């Protein structure tokens, strides 16, 4: 045979759309077809390469993605194991979007833990001045909501004012960081309906009352409800 220089014959042009999303879909489909459950071993990468008709690099990138999200676990010399259940053939929702949403869920999970504690602290430690600030933010949020519907920015500012009143700036800093990460995902991939946060709006007033009353438990419960509404909306989207 001719040495080196392989012509690399014409590739089947059927695809040309981002392989990435297709691979995640195909992988999920395959897992569903094979009835692979959490704890089971996935087919080896070299097999997947043949089965899905893509290079091993591509398979590995997809698996690395899932590994980062804790969906699979790799053991060198042993195999790749499924950790979380993979939903079968979700008809309308491409897996790529699901991965984004998965990431969102994890962010929300952390945010919930932090905000619950920070708000309980705020209910106890808040000064009157900080309370004024919170009331202002609430007014702004309320106006914006009544005029333009759910407004992300004002909502963030309201929460941020509360975090600041906790007495520990670190809470505000980290939650803001998470919030920013969520915003990026939101704006890039609007998850279905736009009114995420709409149903939770009334609860924000309860939050204000709990802070007025310096009731840490009520505040904690309320913010928990608020965040879980968002969480559930995303989970719902995940199907």
- The contact set with DNA (CB under 7 A) reads 4-6, 8, 11, 15-16, 18-20, 23, 42, 44-47, 49, 53-58, 60-61, 63, 74-80
Distances (CA, A) of 128 to 117, 123, 132, 174, 212: 20, 11, 6, 24, 9
Structure tokens that stand for 197 in this block? 């946060």
Q: Alpha carbon 101 to chain centroid distance?
A: 4
Options 55, 70, 88, 190; binder of a second copy; rule CB under 8 A: 70
Q: Would you mind telling me the total number of residues written for the chain in this entry?
A: 239
Please give the C-alpha separations between residue 142 and each of 55, 139, 203, in angstroms, as whole numbers. Answer: 53, 5, 12
Among 15, 50, 113, 209, binds a second copy (CB under 8 A): 113
Given a contact cutoff of 8 angstroms between Cβ atoms, the answer to whether 46 and 86 are in contact is no
The angle, 0 to 180 degrees and rounded to 10, between the axes of the packed helices 45-52 and 19-33 is 110
One character per residue 195-234, x = contact with a second copy (rule: CB under 8 A): ----------------------------------------
Residue whose CB is less far from a second copy, 133 or 233: 133
DSSP H or E stretch at residue 74 = strand 72-75
By CB under 8 A, residue 190 contacts a second copy: no
Stretch that binds a second copy, among 43-51, 150-158, 168-176, 192-200 (CB under 8 A): 168-176
Q: Per CB under 8 A, which of residues 80..99 are in contact with a second copy?
A: 81, 83-85, 94-95, 99
Nearest distance, CB of residue 16 and DNA, angstroms: 6
Q: Residue 41: helix, strand or coil by DSSP? A: strand
* Smallest separation, CB 54 to DNA (Å): 3
Structural tokens at position 218: 């009520």
Nearest to a second copy of 143, 225 (CB atom)? 225
* CA quadruple 189, 151, 105, 134: dihedral sign: positive
Nearer to DNA, 8 or 147 (CB): 8
What minimum distance in Å lies between the beta carbon of 129 and a second copy? 6
Instruction: Strands of 2-55 (E only): list them.
Output: none
Q: Which residue has the tokens 């969906």?
A: 71
Q: Which does residue 16 bind out of a second copy, DNA, none, counting CB within 5 to 8 angstroms by kind?
A: DNA
Counts of helices then strands in the chain (DSSP H, E) = 9, 2
By CB under 8 A, is residue 36 in contact with a second copy?
A: no
Contact positions toward a second copy, by CB under 8 A?
Answer: 38, 57, 60-61, 64-70, 73, 75, 81, 83-85, 94-95, 99-100, 103, 106-107, 109-110, 113-114, 117, 127, 129-130, 167-171, 173-174, 177-178, 180-181, 184-185
């Amino acid at each position: 045979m001719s040495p080196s220089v392989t012509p690399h014959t014409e590739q089947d042009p059927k695809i040309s759309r981002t392989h990435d999303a297709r691979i995640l879909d195909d992988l999920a489909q395959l897992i569903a077809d094979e009835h692979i459950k959490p704890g089971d071993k996935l087919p080896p990468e070299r097999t997947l390469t043949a089965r899905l008709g893509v290079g091993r690099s591509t398979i590995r990138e997809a698996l690395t993605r899932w590994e980062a999200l804790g969906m699979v676990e790799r053991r060198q010399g042993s195999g790749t194991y499924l950790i979380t259940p993979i939903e079968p053939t979700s008809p309308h929702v491409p897996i790529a979007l699901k991965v984004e949403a998965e990431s969102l869920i994890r962010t929300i999970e952390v945010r919930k833990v932090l905000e619950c504690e920070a708000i309980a602290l705020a209910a106890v430690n808040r000064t009157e001045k900080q309370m004024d600030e919170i009331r202002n933010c609430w007014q702004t949020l309320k106006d914006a909501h009544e005029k333009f519907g759910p407004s992300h920015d004002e909502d963030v500012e309201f929460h941020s004012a509360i975090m600041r009143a906790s007495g520990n700036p670190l809470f505000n800093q980290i939650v803001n960081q998470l919030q920013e990460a969520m915003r990026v995902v939101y704006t890039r991939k609007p998850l279905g309906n736009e009114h995420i946060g709409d149903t939770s709006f009334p609860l924000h007033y309860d939050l204000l009352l709990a802070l007025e009353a310096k009731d840490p438990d009520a505040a904690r419960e309320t913010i928990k409800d608020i965040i879980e509404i968002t969480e559930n909306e995303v989970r719902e989207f995940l199907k």
